Amino acid sequence: MKLSDFIFKFKRRSGFASLGLCRVRLFANGEHVYVVITDLGLDNTGPSVTNSIEGIMEQLREQGRIVVPAPMIVEHYEKHPQEFSIVTFGERTNWITISNERAFALLGCNDAEFLTATSDIPQLQKQLVSMRNEINPRFGLDIYQDHVLNCRLRQIVDQQKSKEELESLVCSGANERALQSFLKSDLSFFGEVYAYPQDEYICFSEFPIGDTGFADFVVFSGTSRMDVWIIEVKGANFNLTARGHYEQQNAEISKAITQLQKRKLWIERNYADFRKHVHDVRIRAESGHSAHNAFVGPLESLGVDPAKDINCHFSVIGGRDKDDYRDSTFRTTFEQSSFVARLDTWDSFLRKLRR
């Protein structure tokens, strides 16, 4: 008997932060519960089910989609001929290929359950399209673009620094200069946290903003209207709030806020020139020029319109949490103040990383 049938969005367990899609079906047959995980082929936006099976099961449990202690796992590929495998976890993950007839017998169903492709089932197709567009509105526009995207993703993964390396620096109480130097060697950290859609971004370091000097880091992203994130980075060698006071931010954070306020004021006074400038820089970066240490994300170009307004956002990263609840409350209160900016400690920034 089939218990449930749905499209599931999963994260890959390591490497570049990529979201994938698969189909999950739960069956009960006698005393056993079976989880059938179907690879969606070209409709999948991320890594294959085979390369992600452990992470998929872990995330299904974390999200409460599977509560049975030890279900039997069946991996399924819809291609013709169809393929079924029993998957077991241990010191290493093992796959045992089984026949269609054996799979149907285990699940207590007939071949009709698997005759219709996922893409031909309206309810599931609706879920699939919605999730796929949420992950990447441009997904599947053409095979060449997908090939280029995958090549660029692999290149980024091969060169990127690990979350653990950054965490080690933070835990050692690294100062502003050390953290900036490390982050300049892998600007994809900022693309991972600030970009939406996730694969569409261009990151820069030491980006000039009028007569206010150079912003530590800047991220371009977005669709139609371009999002411009202006980011100031401070060290991990102080706490977010001053000792003994949970309503008073550290002086280093105040300094960063002052820098951002100056940049915001200059942009407002010179908006037309700034909008033209950032689009000019974007176009040069998309063409391969490395102005301001440009780092282009997996997609070769952003789907933004230079004739439309830009959305400017401001962010500070600095300091450490010493009380998760109180510091989180402090950050929330700050972000709702008259000067709208995102405030992250290095602890909260690390939690947002998906790699």
pLDDT tens profile 47-65: 889 888 999 999 999 999 9
- Confidence at residue 11, expressed as pLDDT on a 0 to 100 scale: 87
Whether 318 and 219 map to the same domain: the answer is yes
Is the residue at 334 inside a domain? Answer: yes
Lowest mean pLDDT among 23-32, 88-97, 181-190: 88-97
Does residue 133 have a pLDDT over 90? no
Is the residue at 140 inside a domain? Answer: no
Lowest mean pLDDT among 97-106, 137-146, 177-186: 137-146
In this predicted model, which residue has the larger pLDDT, 223 or 194?
Answer: 194
Whether 103 and 200 map to the same domain: the answer is no
- State the average pLDDT for the chain: 88
In this structure, the number of other CB atoms found within 10 A of the CB of residue 337 comes to: 10
Whether 160 and 121 map to the same domain: the answer is no
Q: Decide which of 135, 155, 174 is a domain's last residue.
A: 135
Does residue 84 have a pLDDT over 80? yes
- Confidence at residue 329, expressed as pLDDT on a 0 to 100 scale: 59
- Chain centroid to Cα 67, Å, comes to 26
Whether 153 and 74 map to the same domain: the answer is no
Q: Decide which of 135, 155, 188 is a domain's last residue.
A: 135
In the chain, % of residues over pLDDT 70: 88
Domain containing residue 172: CATH number: 3.40.91
- Confidence at residue 142, expressed as pLDDT on a 0 to 100 scale: 47
Whether 219 and 83 map to the same domain: the answer is no
Is the residue at 141 inside a domain? Answer: no
- pLDDT band of residue 157 (cuts 50, 70, 90) is confident
Tell me the per-residue pLDDT of 290-311, one tens digit each, with 9 for 90 and over. 899 999 999 888 988 898 899 9
Comparing CA positions, the residue from 93, 63, 76, 101 lying closest to residue 25 is 76
Is the residue at 335 inside a domain? Answer: yes
Q: Decide which of 85, 113, 135 is a domain's last residue.
A: 135
Whether 120 and 161 map to the same domain: the answer is no
Does residue 326 have a pLDDT over 80? no
Strand partners, 346: none
Is the residue at 67 inside a domain? Answer: yes
Query: CB of 277 within 8 A of CB of 257?
Result: no
Whether 33 and 101 map to the same domain: the answer is yes
In this predicted model, which residue has the larger pLDDT, 323 or 167?
Answer: 167
- Structural domains in the chain (count): 2
Query: CB of 72 within 8 A of CB of 34?
Result: yes
Whether 123 and 198 map to the same domain: the answer is no
Is the residue at 142 inside a domain? Answer: no
pTM: 0.59
- Confidence at residue 245, expressed as pLDDT on a 0 to 100 scale: 47
Does residue 38 have a pLDDT over 60? yes
Whether 24 and 82 map to the same domain: the answer is yes
Average pLDDT over residues 79-90: 88
- Confidence at residue 138, expressed as pLDDT on a 0 to 100 scale: 60
Average pLDDT over residues 144-158: 74
- pLDDT band of residue 155 (cuts 50, 70, 90) is confident
Whether 9 and 124 map to the same domain: the answer is yes
Q: In what order do the strands lie in the sheet with 311-317?
A: 295-296, 201-208, 214-221, 227-233, 311-317, 342-344
Whether 62 and 24 map to the same domain: the answer is yes
- Confidence at residue 327, expressed as pLDDT on a 0 to 100 scale: 55
Is the residue at 159 inside a domain? Answer: yes
Range of the domain at 36: 2-135
Does residue 108 have a pLDDT over 80? yes
Is the residue at 177 inside a domain? Answer: yes
- Confidence at residue 92, expressed as pLDDT on a 0 to 100 scale: 87
Whether 295 and 157 map to the same domain: the answer is yes
